[in-house]
Copies of this chain bind each other. A is one copy, B any other.
Amino acid sequence: MDKKTLLPLLAPEISKIESAMQAEFANITSSLLVEVVTHGIFNGGKRIRPILTMLSARLAAYSNMPDGIASEEELTPPNELYRLAMVFEFLHGASLLHDDVIDHADTRRGTETAHSKWNNEAAILAGDYLHTKAMTLAGTVGDSHCLALIGTATAAMIDAEFLQSQAVEQQDSSEETYFQVLRGKTGALIGSACEVGVFFADGNEAQCQALRTYGDALGLAFQMVDDLLDYQGDTSKTGKAIGNDFSEGKMTLPLIHALTEANPEHRQTLTNLLQATPAQRQQAQQQATEIITNAGGFSYTRQGAETLIEAAIEALNIFPDCQAKATLIGIAHYVLSRDK
């Protein structure tokens, strides 16, 4: 399933999720706060996290339905499910608002960022607002189990950001640290977006576990492809400068692998560059990319992502074939094929 097939399938759900998000701002008194959170949330995002919640819930509901009661198409998700799915988009929006302050980023997806359009105060507090709403919805529309899942994943995400900073500082080039950071930063929240959907739809323990496995693996693979695109992407498609990770000295998998597998001379070159300045690394970007290519760093990373996507799809084997399952499989394939 490619992007052209996926998008029309998802569009109606995306539109319902967006209406639900908009409605959530009705209780805000300050018109300025409404403006800033709206700017933060309606930013051209793909809504992949809430979509995963909706699809996971649909998959569980369909699988557990007694035969012949209704067809999959007739399943109408309750409004509450849209509000629960929204939690993941609010959390994502909150972290983007804060990230843009931290990175001093002036634009995101071609649009002025909130802290640049208003100021740091507006961006930080609007992020806090989305965070508060997300956690409140998690435990009131959902229950204490949903809240615990989401709270644990969010805490792990922040913990991983700090681990990553420490890894950069310490030039920690172990695969173990890389995957530990990845699991926290991306895997945990995507895994819980899927698991919460199944749990809300009264899926059993095995079904919850299957979707968590799917989501964890999907999140990891997504981030690994991101790390590949940072070296190999087409700027005109990704909209991001190439080589940022290397300039910043970020230990992503292609580089980590090359540091182990390159010949001694090349390894020394990489090690020297990692001790040089960001500007020097930026200049040596092409050389580094060649060394990583020769050491198999990119193919190793892609292979790793492919293995994870296979595992994600395999986890869905316990479910009967249906549209929701096909779409989840389609999303998994898309993660590998995306070029932006």
Residues in A lying within 8 Å of B, measured CB to CB: 27-33, 36, 94-95, 98, 101-102, 120-122, 124-129, 131-133, 135-136, 138-140, 143-144, 147-148, 150-152, 154-155, 158-163, 165-166, 180, 184
- Given A33-B158, A124-B102, A161-B125, CB of A147 within 8 Å of CB of B140: yes
Query: Given the complex of chains A and B, what is the CA–CA distance between A127 and B154 in angstroms?
Result: 13
**A102 partner, pick from B121, B129, B138, beta carbons under 8 A:** B121
When distances are taken between beta carbons in the complex, the residues of chain B under 8 Å from A160 are: 29-30
Query: Given the complex of chains A and B, what is the CA–CA distance between A151 and B139 in angstroms?
Result: 10
| Inter-chain pairs besides A129-B158, A132-B154, A140-B147, 7 sampled, C-beta below 8 Å | A30-B159, A32-B162, A98-B125, A128-B154, A136-B155, A140-B151, A147-B147
Chain B min CB distance to A196 (Å): 14
Write the chain B residue with the least CB distance to A139: B139
When distances are taken between beta carbons in the complex, the residues of chain B under 8 Å from A143 are: 144
Query: Given the complex of chains A and B, what is the CA–CA distance between A31 and B155 in angstroms?
Result: 14
**In the bound complex, do residue B133 and residue A155 qualify as a contact, i.e. CB atoms below 8 Å apart?**
yes
Query: Given the complex of chains A and B, what is the CA–CA distance between A135 and B27 in angstroms?
Result: 20
**In the bound complex, do residue A166 and residue B135 qualify as a contact, i.e. CB atoms below 8 Å apart?**
no
**A132 partner, pick from B27, B32, B151, beta carbons under 8 A:** B151
**In the bound complex, do residue A162 and residue B101 qualify as a contact, i.e. CB atoms below 8 Å apart?**
no
**In the bound complex, do residue B165 and residue A129 qualify as a contact, i.e. CB atoms below 8 Å apart?**
no
**In the bound complex, do residue A30 and residue B136 qualify as a contact, i.e. CB atoms below 8 Å apart?**
no
Query: Given the complex of chains A and B, what is the CA–CA distance between A144 and B126 in angstroms?
Result: 23
When distances are taken between beta carbons in the complex, the residues of chain B under 8 Å from A158 are: 33, 125-126, 128-129, 132
**In the bound complex, do residue B132 and residue A140 qualify as a contact, i.e. CB atoms below 8 Å apart?**
no
Chain B min CB distance to A86 (Å): 14
Write the chain B residue with the least CB distance to A148: B140
Query: Given the complex of chains A and B, what is the CA–CA distance between A86 and B42 in angstroms?
Result: 34
Query: Given the complex of chains A and B, what is the CA–CA distance between A136 and B120 in angstroms?
Result: 26
Query: Given the complex of chains A and B, what is the CA–CA distance between A55 and B171 in angstroms?
Result: 49
